[in-house]
Chain A
């Protein structure tokens, strides 16, 4: 089923393109410490709001232009003619632990200090936007996957049990989902964030907190649909047959009901990933998500809300928004491709 699905995706142009692009994104995020020229909190206060450095071919190798700060009041830089710093590959860098295990003391490319390589410019404290973008992609790219994993497990369990057994458990579970769905989403997210913040103070733990909150909102919808599907399957002959054979409810749910929900689950999960990405970005943008010195695309965009940025056209600070946009559109298109493959009937319903 899975290999067949993969084959089908690759046979469609849009599907193949999105899948390959996303895989590249994930590879880049995975190897972020190697690919990024600088660490996320590596500041240079003499080079704030530096424009992207021009990369040129100079004396037989790649080099970056050097810039001079012409007007510090409005962060105006000008390239100095004839001044270059060569780009070196596999350069020495402060040692860090890749995946927290393997010590690495090199980065893929960089320039010799004090020159700086800003592929996408620098921000208000002279940190490299490109490096932060790479590290930030780890948040956006994983949050959706972890989120749908949690919501699917809770949704399947609650919805499946409610649909199969009915009765008191069913009413309690469904009232619970209605309660969650009756509160405007963002209000509930903010209230949960404020209430649970004290248990997650570390910036790594805040990532977990955000996943937990977004999943807490998300499982209700999944559970309701799973319950509906289970109810409709419940009275099919094959379930009666399994019951007549003396199989227990857990076996029936696991072996007979869930496989029938598989295609639905794949499609809804794919299509709900963008929700998590946008949710995290919005929270971090509002200042109640990922916190400094960690980085995420939403957090990087919150810096843009500065009059200086608006007036002086620091366009490179908008690249995180573009990154979110591209990631979400890739997931959306891929989700639609998967939906058309798995269940062509769904196509006509919205």
Chain B
């Protein structure tokens, strides 16, 4: 297992090189750069722009730019955001807690809804509850995330009760510590629901199918034949085995923890990484884009690895070492 993990981690290096090269070239060939905004302002002299261009290295051929970017990044320096004028790492670190909080709460929300609903749908198979939950799962999987976010914002602005966006209230700094915490939570509720509902529907369907699979297995029939009470069978034998495959999905959840929800964050004006990275793409803030892509890709690759490890952990029949 150790050699397997080590090999996968080593394979990350060429993969990240490829990813960074691809995105770097894409950013390079997209028309215009960050300085276009300055060029449009008439009071900025051309010499200043030329000097800035040299400073940022934008006058050199793309492969030279890539090599110098790579050299810096390997040494742990992700460069400076051109539009915010602060180191990229600092900028990302400012936004990361908000995105992390949102990702985690929506993950917890999805699991908290999906597991009980999936279990009940399987136990009371073909009942009205089962059909209703299947229908809601279809609806939840089919509604565009940004549309749901829009509906949530309209709900908040029409009926009140929830803030229409943002991370905290205007008077946040004047609140007591408990009040501040509640303020954060209050702002998180709607984005959490919007982001979590799709995941909950998917998980619920998997949970239900897993339960039904296990219910039909031989050892459950044996338990039933021995006269074990139905509840005990369900919760001790079926549920524990049915939930195992779901554990692997935590690996994939990990990969999304820091990439942020671009659409939902934009609609709900939630100042997380997704919003920042989208703006960086639009403004051609190259170093921010590259850092975001490197972090996002690393999380994705590591997330897949975690999923594979978890799979072997919950199912001892799977062995990666030959």
Contacts and interface: CB of A to CB of B under 8 A. Distances in A.
Contacts of A285: 146, 263
A182 B297 contact: yes
Nearest to A188: B23
Contacts of B145: 282
Interface in A275-324: 278, 281-282, 285-286, 301, 304-305, 309-311, 313, 318, 321, 324
Contacts, number: 121
B153 A310 contact: yes
Interface in B141-162: 141-147, 150-151, 153-154, 157-158
Contacts of A349: 209
A179 B11 CA distance: 11
B19 A197 contact: no
Given A187-B277, A191-B26, A195-B29, A325 B142 contact: yes
A20 interface: no
B278 A190 contact: yes
B138 interface: yes
B62 interface: no
A178 interface: yes
A197 B31 contact: yes
B157 A310 contact: yes
Contacts of B23: 183, 187-188, 191
B164 A310 contact: yes
B22 interface: yes
Interface in A36-50: none
A104 B165 CA distance: 48
Contacts of B158: 310, 313
A188 B157 CA distance: 34
A313 B146 CA distance: 18
Given A194-B281, A304-B150, A310-B157, A179 B31 contact: no
Interface string A317-350: 0100100110011001100000000000001111
A26 to B, nearest CB: 18
A179 B15 contact: yes
A184 interface: yes
Nearest to B263: A282
A182 B300 contact: yes
Contacts of A311: 157
B147 A324 contact: yes
Interface size class of A (residues with CB under 8 A): 35 or more
Interface in B80-111: none
A261 to B, nearest CB: 24
A13 B133 CA distance: 19
A198 B213 contact: no
B158 to A, nearest CB: 6
A187 B142 contact: no
Interface in B229-288: 259, 262-263, 266-267, 277-278, 281, 284
B293 A187 contact: yes
Given A183-B19, A286-B278, A192 B26 contact: yes
B312 interface: no
Tell me the dominant secondary structure on chain B's binding face.
helix
A184 B297 contact: yes
Contacts of A175: 18
Interface residues of B, number: 49
A186 interface: yes
B143 A191 contact: no
Contacts of B166: none
Contacts of A274: 142
A348 B147 contact: no
A350 B206 contact: yes
Given A187-B293, A325-B144, A182 B15 contact: yes
A52 B128 CA distance: 37
Contact of A328 (B142, B213, B267): B142
B188 interface: no
A191 B281 contact: yes
B157 A286 contact: no
Contact of A332 (B19, B138, B146, B164): B138
B205 interface: yes
A179 B301 CA distance: 10
Contacts of B281: 187, 190-191, 194
Contact of B19 (A179, A304, A321, A348): A179
Contacts of A329: 138-139, 142
A179 B157 contact: no
Contact of A184 (B16, B267, B296): B296
A12 B267 CA distance: 39
Given A182-B19, A286-B278, A321 B147 contact: yes
Given A282-B146, A348-B209, A178 B15 contact: yes
The listed residue with most B CB atoms (<10 A of its CB), out of A321, A333, A347, is A321
B146 A301 contact: yes
A143 B258 CA distance: 30
15 contacts: A183-B22, A183-B23, A186-B259, A187-B281, A190-B278, A191-B23, A191-B293, A194-B26, A305-B150, A305-B267, A310-B164, A318-B150, A321-B144, A325-B139, A328-B144
